[in-house]
Amino acid sequence: MIQHRTTTVDGHELFYREAGPADAPAIVLLHGYPTSSFMFRHLIPLLAGRYRVLAPDHLGFGYSAAPSADEFDYTFDALADLTSGLLDQLGLDRYAVYVQDYGAPIAWRLALKHPGRISAIVTQNGNGYEEGFVDSFWTGLWAYGANPGPDTEPAVRAALSYDAIRWQYLHGVPDPSLVSPDTWEHDHARVSRPGNDEIQLALFRDYQHNRPLYPRLHEFLRTHDVPVLAVWGRNDEIFGPAGAEAFARDARDTEVHLIDGGHFLLESHLDVVAGYLHGFLGRVLK
């Protein structure tokens, strides 16, 4: 059974899904843009028999509160601080992370803040290396981050559109009929709330500040022997497969699996990902 809960962290309401035995090894699922813990709705039941599973919605996403960009400084540092506060409140002092897209830089900050708490990393199209960025997608975002204004904003604002969100789900998927329209309909509705565009633009501007963290992440992987599973949609036109393969440079215990799918791999290859995940977690979480 999945429980749907809301709690207050630093004065902000955060929604999260939780399942599994309270005393089991924990795994924290961190979603990307433009979605929420909704992306894990089918994965959580497959994990909850053996693990305590926690999947929060970042502030401004899903069913968490969404204070305006004037009321809250939306940065990845701030989202990581709220996530850290939530995990502290729930008593999680040792956990694996499953990251996708935005969830990756949030998790990297958690690992650098409390390196002893991370038992394992599963990255599903969640970047930690320069090699993963696909230029055709990122050129406009880098330009906007470096010089936000009327000349650079239109290119990134287009990412908030219905068609762009639908594309994120369908590109690189051999059989698009496997992907439920519920995904992009749900996400577009949440992104289209009044004022949410400015929240997303703030995070687009801040994304460039994730890249300087990468050398520290690589050092963390080399020195803390944290096992890594990179299970990746190899047709992703946002984070390419080189981003998955790069983890093997620094993590001594790395599994890399490139799957014939796109950015949101769980929508088309849930059972494949769950199979690799169970094998990996069963091996590394003792």
105-121: pLDDT as tens digits: 999 999 999 999 999 99
Q: For residue 98, what pLDDT is reported?
A: 98
Average pLDDT value for residue range 157-173: 98
Encode pLDDT of 192-237 as tens digits.
Answer: 999 999 999 999 999 999 999 999 999 999 999 999 999 999 999 9
Strand partners, 239: 133
The CATH number assigned to the domain holding 248 equals: 3.40.50.1820
Element (H, E) at 122: strand 118-123
Burial of 23 (0-12, 13-18, 19+ CB in 10 A): exposed
pLDDT band at 55 (very low <50, low <70, confident <90, very high): very high
Helix (H, G, I), strand (E, B) or coil at 120: strand
pLDDT score for 64:
98
Q: Tokens for 23?
A: 């005393």
DSSP state letter for 133:
B
- Looking at residue 222, what is its pLDDT? 96
Q: What is the mean pLDDT of residues 115-133?
A: 97
- DSSP class of residue 239? B
Percentage with pLDDT > 90 across the chain: 99
Say if CB 5 and CB 64 are below 8 A apart: no
Q: Is residue 170 part of a domain?
A: no
Average pLDDT over residues 129-142: 97
Q: What is the CA radius of gyration of the chain?
A: 17
For residue 80, name the pLDDT band (cuts at 50, 70, 90).
Answer: very high
Domain count for the chain: 1
Residue 11 DSSP one-character state:
T
Q: Give 16's pLDDT tier (boundaries 50, 70, 90).
A: very high
For 8, residues 6+ apart whose C-beta sits below 8 A from its C-beta are 14
- Residue 13 near residue 6, CB atoms below 8 Å: yes
CA–CA distance from 137 to each of 111, 131, 132, 141, 213 (Å)? 27, 13, 11, 8, 21
86 has a pLDDT exceeding 90: yes
Averaged pLDDT, 128-157:
97
What average pLDDT does this structure show over 97-103? 98
Paired strand residues for 116: none
pLDDT in the model for residue 179? 98
> Is 154 part of a structural domain of the chain?
no
The domain of 68 spans 3-134+210-284
Work out the mean pLDDT of the chain and round it to a whole number.
97
Q: Report the 10 Å Cβ neighbour count for 181.
A: 10
Task: Supply the pLDDT for residue 90.
Answer: 97
The predicted pLDDT at position 223 comes to 96
> Which tokens go with 167?
């594309």
Asked, for residue 129, whether it belongs to a domain, the answer is yes
Q: How far apart are CA 36 and CA 60, in angstroms?
A: 10
Strand, helix or coil for residue 189: helix
Residue 168 lies in a domain: no
Active site residues: 263
Instruction: Tell me if 80 is assigned to some domain.
Output: yes
Burial of 262 (0-12, 13-18, 19+ CB in 10 A): buried
> Per-residue confidence at 89, pLDDT binned at 50, 70, 90?
very high
Mean pLDDT, range 175-185, rounded to an integer: 98
Residue 103 has pLDDT above 90, yes or no: yes
Has residue 78 been placed in a domain?
yes
Whether the predicted pLDDT of 263 surpasses 90? yes
Read off the amino acid at residue 59.
L
CB 190 within 8 A of CB 182: no
How confident is residue 153, by pLDDT bands cut at 50, 70 and 90?
A: very high
In the chain, the percentage of residues whose pLDDT exceeds 70 is 100
68 pLDDT tier (thresholds 50, 70, 90): very high
Q: Classify each residue of 48-83 as buried b or exposed e, where b means 16 or more C-beta atoms within 10 Å of its C-beta.
A: bebbbbbbbbbbbbbbbbbeebeebebebebbbbbb
A 10 A CB-CB count for 251 gives 22
- Does 20 have pLDDT greater than 90? yes
* Among the listed residues 74, 94, 83, the one whose alpha carbon sits nearest the alpha carbon of residue 25: 94
Quick check: 54 pLDDT over 90? yes
Position 163 in a domain? no
